[in-house]
Amino acid sequence: MSFSTGITGIQNMAPELPVQASEDLLSTPMFNLIHSFGVDLHHAESYVGKTTRMSRFERLSTDGGQLDGSGIDPASEVPVRTDIDATMEIYAKSIVTNEQVILYENSKTLTKFTALLGQWLREKEDLLMRDLFSSSVSYINATGGLNGDQPSNISLNDVNNIENILLGNDARSMLTSLEATLKFATGGVRDAFIALANTNLCADLQKVQGVLLKSAYPTQEGIRPEEYCSISRFRFFVSSKAARTPGISMKGNTVYTIPMYGLEAAAKIEQNNYTAVIGYRPPWVVSAVAQNSQLYAKFAIARAITNQNWISGLNVTTFQPS
């Protein structure tokens, strides 16, 4: 493609165009980090392998147990233990910088690149936790919506169905209640489980019967910016990177998965001394003529669903195909 500049020769030059940098950089886009919110944090020690085992004793049976006075002991029960294992994995990112960038083009380049690596570190961690939720949890298709697809768009019945599943499995809610206050157009919020949704679902969330948008909470104090609304016993947190799979609904539309969980449903395991490593390799190390330097970030993470009883969720489509 070409366009006219109006410059036809040395008799018709464009004016000089001086350029100066504004006082600071513009913001680097960052998505909402919601997938580590509400998961348990465990620590793995060094020098004992890369598999972390989390164990749980299952409940004892409440059948029988009565003593009849005959002196005969009741049968003893062997406790059952469930082991959940997770493998530690290490992720890393580096930036190589030429000295001319630092010399000519910007100030505090290394500082800014360090901030970029720090952002990468947290974003990558968030996506890894998202993948755990989308891969290793059973979801039920929403069917209460009216878009005629399978799964349908989200509805109150679908949300209540998941609450039934979690309560039936003795899951504990994650967030404490917000007591109602004497403010117009607000309402109390019950103690709640957590739900994680894609931002493409916001329009549908607003239409669910009984939805309480965040602005209608009795208080905004301590409310996370990622939170969008409350429906039934769930408080919804949204991210543009929350799980979605294009083109796999009954009609070929995008399917969104919404993990919905309570306490101790999932875990993130940090490796001791390897949670967030950021380092710098100076030019005389990286380059034969000391022209390139390197910044790097590393972190170790293991992830696991620690109790399938206490996590469930919905597959949904949007009311308007997306």
Partner 1 sequence: MAFTIVTQGTFTQGATPVGQKIPLPSGADYFVATNLTQLGAANNNVVIKGEWYGGGLTARNDGIRWRKITTTGTVQMDKFSNGTASGGFTYFNKFPEPEAPVVGTAITAANPAVVTMANTYSDGDVVQLYNTTGMLQIAGMAFTISGVSGAGFTLTGLDASGFAAPATAVTARRIGRLAPVEPRFQYVTKITQAAQATQATVTLSEISNYVVGQKIEFQIPGSFGMVQLNNFNQPQSKPVIITSIVSDYSFTINVDVSGFTPFAFPASTASPTAALFATIAPAGQSTQVNPITGVQTGYNFQYPPFHSGDFIPYMYLAAGDSSPAGGANSVIAWQAYKMETGTINSPVPS
Binding to partner 1 by CB under 8 A, coded x per residue (else -) over 202-231, reads ------------------------------
- The string of DSSP codes covering 269-299 is EEETT-SSEEEEE-HHHH-TTS-EEEEEEEE
Q: Which of 139, 155, 261 is nearest to 206 (CA)?
A: 155
84 binds partner 1 (CB under 8 A): yes
Residue 160 or 186: the one with the smaller Cβ distance to partner 1 is: 160
Q: Which stretch binds partner 1 (CB under 8 A): 5-13, 20-28, 80-88, 204-212?
A: 80-88
Residues in 248-267 at the binding interface with partner 1, rule: CB under 8 A: 248-252, 255
3-class state of residue 225 by DSSP: coil
Binding to partner 1 by CB under 8 A, coded x per residue (else -) over 125-144, reads ------xx-xxxxxxxx-x-
Residue 58 or 221: the one with the smaller Cβ distance to partner 1 is: 58
If you search the block for the tokens 């800014």, which residue do you land on? 112
Min dist. Cβ of residue 262 to partner 1 (A): 14
Contact call for residues 209 and 230 (beta carbons, < 8 A): no
Radius of gyration from C-alpha coordinates of the chain? 27
Q: Which stretch binds partner 1 (CB under 8 A): 20-28, 31-39, 40-48, 243-251?
A: 243-251
Of 169, 199, 275, 322, the one binding partner 1 (CB under 8 A) is 169
Question: 55 pairs with which residues across the strands?
Answer: 83
Residue 159 or 212: the one with the smaller Cβ distance to partner 1 is: 159
Number of amino acids touching partner 1 (CB under 8 A):
58
309 binds partner 1 (CB under 8 A): yes
Number of neighbours of residue 164 by Cβ within 10 angstroms? 11
282 binds partner 1 (CB under 8 A): no
Min dist. Cβ of residue 106 to partner 1 (A): 15
Q: Which stretch binds partner 1 (CB under 8 A): 202-210, 211-219, 224-232, 308-316?
A: 308-316
If you search the block for the tokens 């190390």, which residue do you land on? 285
312 binds partner 1 (CB under 8 A): yes
CA-CA distance, 306 to 84, in Å (whole number)?
Answer: 6
80 binds partner 1 (CB under 8 A): yes
Residue 165 or 192: the one with the smaller Cβ distance to partner 1 is: 165
Q: b/e string for 184-223 if b means 16 or more Cβ within 10 A?
A: eebeebbebbbbbbbbbbeebbeebeebbebeebbeeeee
Residue 161 or 230: the one with the smaller Cβ distance to partner 1 is: 161
Of 33, 121, 151, 242, the one binding partner 1 (CB under 8 A) is 151
148 binds partner 1 (CB under 8 A): yes
Q: Which residues lie below 8 Å from residue 58, measured CB to CB, with a gap of 6+? A: 79, 80, 81, 82
Amino acid residing at 269: I
- The string of DSSP codes covering 26-38 is PPPP-----TTTT
User: Judging by DSSP bridges, how do beta strands 193-198 and 255-261 pair with one another?
Assistant: antiparallel
CA-CA distance, 107 to 95, in Å (whole number)?
Answer: 16
34 binds partner 1 (CB under 8 A): no
303 binds partner 1 (CB under 8 A): yes
64 binds partner 1 (CB under 8 A): no
Give the binding site for partner 1 (CB under 8 A): 51, 56, 58-61, 80-87, 89, 96-98, 131-132, 134-141, 143, 148-152, 161, 165, 168-170, 245-252, 255, 292, 302-305, 307-309, 312, 315
